[in-house]
Protein backbone atom coordinates (compact mmCIF):
# COMPACT_ATOMS: atom_id res chain seq x y z
CA UNK A 1 0.00 0.00 0.00
CA UNK A 2 1.21 3.50 -0.78
CA UNK A 3 1.97 5.99 1.93
CA UNK A 4 -0.12 9.12 2.40
CA UNK A 5 2.79 11.18 1.07
CA UNK A 6 2.80 9.15 -2.15
CA UNK A 7 -0.95 9.54 -2.52
CA UNK A 8 -0.75 13.30 -1.90
CA UNK A 9 2.09 13.64 -4.41
CA UNK A 10 0.04 11.72 -7.00
CA UNK A 11 -2.99 13.93 -6.32
CA UNK A 12 -0.87 17.07 -6.75
CA UNK A 13 0.52 15.70 -10.01
CA UNK A 14 -2.99 14.95 -11.27
CA UNK A 15 -4.13 18.44 -10.33
CA UNK A 16 -1.18 19.98 -12.21
CA UNK A 17 -1.91 17.85 -15.27
CA UNK A 18 -5.61 18.79 -15.16
CA UNK A 19 -4.78 22.48 -14.98
CA UNK A 20 -2.43 22.10 -17.95
CA UNK A 21 -5.00 20.10 -19.95
CA UNK A 22 -7.77 22.62 -19.25
CA UNK A 23 -5.49 25.40 -20.46
CA UNK A 24 -4.89 23.50 -23.69
CA UNK A 25 -8.63 23.20 -24.36
CA UNK A 26 -8.70 26.76 -25.63
CA UNK A 27 -6.24 25.75 -28.38
CA UNK A 28 -8.42 22.91 -29.72
CA UNK A 29 -10.87 24.17 -32.33
CA UNK A 30 -14.14 22.60 -33.47
CA UNK A 31 -16.58 23.61 -36.20
CA UNK A 32 -20.34 23.62 -35.73
CA UNK A 33 -22.29 23.46 -39.00
CA UNK A 34 -25.93 23.76 -39.96
CA UNK A 35 -27.97 24.12 -43.13
CA UNK A 36 -25.62 21.88 -45.08
CA UNK A 37 -22.74 24.26 -44.45
CA UNK A 38 -24.62 27.54 -44.96
CA UNK A 39 -23.86 28.54 -41.35
CA UNK A 40 -20.58 27.62 -39.66
CA UNK A 41 -19.45 28.41 -36.12
CA UNK A 42 -15.84 27.93 -35.00
CA UNK A 43 -15.34 27.41 -31.26
CA UNK A 44 -12.64 26.27 -28.87
CA UNK A 45 -13.04 23.04 -26.89
CA UNK A 46 -13.39 25.33 -23.88
CA UNK A 47 -16.59 26.71 -25.45
CA UNK A 48 -15.30 30.11 -26.60
CA UNK A 49 -16.85 31.19 -29.92
CA UNK A 50 -14.05 32.15 -32.31
CA UNK A 51 -15.95 32.97 -35.48
CA UNK A 52 -19.18 32.74 -37.44
CA UNK A 53 -19.49 32.29 -41.22
CA UNK A 54 -22.88 32.88 -42.87
CA UNK A 55 -23.50 32.20 -46.56
CA UNK A 56 -24.63 35.38 -48.33
CA UNK A 57 -27.74 33.65 -49.70
CA UNK A 58 -29.20 33.76 -46.18
CA UNK A 59 -28.86 37.52 -45.76
CA UNK A 60 -32.15 38.40 -47.46
CA UNK A 61 -34.79 39.83 -45.08
CA UNK A 62 -37.17 37.02 -46.04
CA UNK A 63 -34.64 34.49 -44.67
CA UNK A 64 -34.39 36.08 -41.19
CA UNK A 65 -36.21 33.32 -39.27
CA UNK A 66 -34.35 30.53 -41.06
CA UNK A 67 -31.02 32.29 -40.48
CA UNK A 68 -31.74 32.63 -36.76
CA UNK A 69 -32.61 28.92 -36.56
CA UNK A 70 -29.48 27.92 -38.47
CA UNK A 71 -27.25 30.06 -36.23
CA UNK A 72 -28.74 28.47 -33.12
CA UNK A 73 -28.27 24.99 -34.63
CA UNK A 74 -24.65 25.73 -35.59
CA UNK A 75 -23.92 27.07 -32.09
CA UNK A 76 -25.43 23.95 -30.52
CA UNK A 77 -23.41 21.74 -32.89
CA UNK A 78 -20.21 23.60 -31.99
CA UNK A 79 -21.00 23.31 -28.27
CA UNK A 80 -21.61 19.56 -28.55
CA UNK A 81 -18.34 19.09 -30.44
CA UNK A 82 -16.48 21.27 -27.92
CA UNK A 83 -17.84 19.14 -25.07
CA UNK A 84 -16.81 15.95 -26.88
CA UNK A 85 -13.29 17.29 -27.52
CA UNK A 86 -12.99 18.39 -23.88
CA UNK A 87 -14.16 15.01 -22.61
CA UNK A 88 -11.73 13.22 -24.94
CA UNK A 89 -8.82 15.29 -23.63
CA UNK A 90 -9.77 14.66 -20.01
CA UNK A 91 -10.22 10.94 -20.68
CA UNK A 92 -6.73 10.76 -22.19
CA UNK A 93 -5.34 12.40 -19.07
CA UNK A 94 -7.16 10.23 -16.56
CA UNK A 95 -7.11 6.90 -18.42
CA UNK A 96 -4.11 5.55 -16.47
CA UNK A 97 -5.27 6.65 -13.05
CA UNK A 98 -6.59 4.07 -10.60
CA UNK A 99 -9.84 5.89 -9.83
CA UNK A 100 -12.92 4.26 -8.31
CA UNK A 101 -15.95 3.84 -10.64
CA UNK A 102 -17.98 7.04 -10.97
CA UNK A 103 -15.19 9.25 -9.58
CA UNK A 104 -15.07 12.51 -11.49
CA UNK A 105 -12.20 14.94 -11.93
CA UNK A 106 -11.44 17.69 -11.19
CA UNK A 107 -12.08 17.11 -7.53
CATH class of the domain at 4-94: alpha beta
Q: Domain extents for the chain? A: 4-94
Predicted model pTM: 0.69
Mean pLDDT of the chain: 84
Q: Quick one: 66 exposed, middle or buried, by C-beta within 10 A (0-12, 13-18, 19+)?
A: middle
Give residue 102's pLDDT.
61
pLDDT band at 40 (very low <50, low <70, confident <90, very high): very high
Q: For residue 16, what pLDDT band results from cuts at 50, 70 and 90?
A: confident
Measuring CA to CA, how many Å separate 24 from each of 44, 55, 62, 86? 10, 31, 42, 10
Amino acid sequence: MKSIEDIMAMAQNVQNELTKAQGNLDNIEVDGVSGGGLVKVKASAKGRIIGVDIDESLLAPSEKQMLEDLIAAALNDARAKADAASNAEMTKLTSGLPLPPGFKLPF
